[in-house]
Structures are given as structure tokens and as C-alpha cells.
Amino acid sequence: MTAASGKTKTGKFCLSNAADVGFTPNLSRLAVLGPGSTMPIVELPLGMAMTERKTFYFDNNATTRVAPEVVDAMIPFLRDFWGNPSSAYGFGSQVGKRVEEARAQVAALIGAEPKEIVFTSCGTESNNAVLQSALATQPGKRHILTTAVEHSAIIKHCECLQKQGVQVTFLPVDADGIKAGLAINRQGHSLTTN
């Protein structure tokens, strides 16, 4: 573990801007360190047999385990009904009908109209669709406000939009994830930060 005393790094890697993860020097424990700290927030023993180990997953923000009832609902479509739902032939169109049923269920769940529900394949596609839709439906508004610590899917897309003439402001954040003293002039779209 890297420490203020300058010990040799042993299996250390960065988990995020908020914490570092690494192995203790004798490789017997996994430790999670807070920002700028050499004292572990969490230490997990690594000496257990493979069958006794517990998995500690710290990345639910990126990928979350699928709920068992969702897996059960999806199995028929992964195994038996895998046709293209947009196709005109029967094998695919029967899947299309089920997609529309799912769209209506999601809409009812959140109080929306089925036509307002768009299924995407991932977060990046969703982020891009939202930004592009906002720009397309509001052509007079060409200024995007986001934070400097957004996911790379947002940052990279906003950088691309800047090259296309869209004004993008990357708002700075403090250690708590907010920027105190931010004032937004809605009429002039100008920003000032203290």
C-alpha cells in the first residue's frame, strides 16, 4: 500500500477520484482508502478459500446485477423469441408486439404516454439521445450546462457538440460535488461563479 512514509506500491490502483483501492504489503488484505488518506476506510481479508470468498462490488453506478425476476422475464426472448422486433415477418413482429406491451407497462408505471418511452441499449446512447433531442427540439437554445465531473459519455459528447458550435459550460465542483456561489442569469444565459 502506498503510504505517506513512501512505502513501495503493491498492487495499488485507482478506483475513482474519491477512493483508492490496493493490497496491503503482505497481500493478505484489500484496503479502500479515502481521498488523500493513508488510513483504510475498509479492509477486506483475502486469505479465504475461493468458495468462502464474498464478492464486494463497488461499481453499481456503471453496471448493476440484473434482478432475478427480470432474468426470468427475459429468458424466453433470449432463448426462443429472439427475432428482430422491427421486422415485417411473423417471427420478429411477435417480438415487436411484446416490446410495445413493455413500453405501455413502463409508461403506466411512471404516468407517461407509451410514445414517450424510448428503449436504448446503454447509458451512453441514452445520454446522447437526450442531448441531441434537447438541441433538436429547442433550436434557439444552444447552451448546455454540465459539470466538470460528469461521466465521460457526457463530457466527450459535449466536447463534440462544442466543435459543432454549441456553447457548453463545464461547471466546476468542490470536494462535496457542488459549486457554492453559482449564479445563473436565465435571460442572458451568463454564468458567474464565486
If asked whether residues 151 and 107 sit together in one domain, one would say no
Question: Would you say residue 127 lies in a domain?
Answer: no
- Position 190: which residue type? S
Q: Tell me, yes or no, whether 61 and 6 share the same domain.
A: yes
Burial zone of 130 (CB within 10 Å; 0-12 exposed, 13-18 middle, 19+ buried): middle
What does each of the 194 residues of the chain score in pLDDT, given as a tens digit?
333 333 333 344 334 344 455 545 544 555 555 555 555 555 555 554 445 667 777 777 777 888 999 999 999 989 999 899 988 888 889 999 999 999 999 999 999 999 999 999 888 999 999 999 999 999 888 899 888 888 889 999 999 999 999 999 998 888 777 665 555 555 455 555 54
The pTM (predicted TM-score) of the whole model is 0.55
In this structure, is residue 85 part of a structural domain?
yes
In a domain, 29, yes or no: yes
Residue 134 maps to a domain? no
Question: Where among 45, 65, 85 does a domain terminate?
Answer: 65
Tally the domains of the chain.
3
- Domain interval for residue 86: 68-116
- By CB neighbour count within 10 A (0-12 exposed, 13-18 middle, 19+ buried), where does 157 fall? buried
Residue 10 lies in a domain: yes
| Domain membership flag for residue 133 | no
57/2 same-domain check: yes
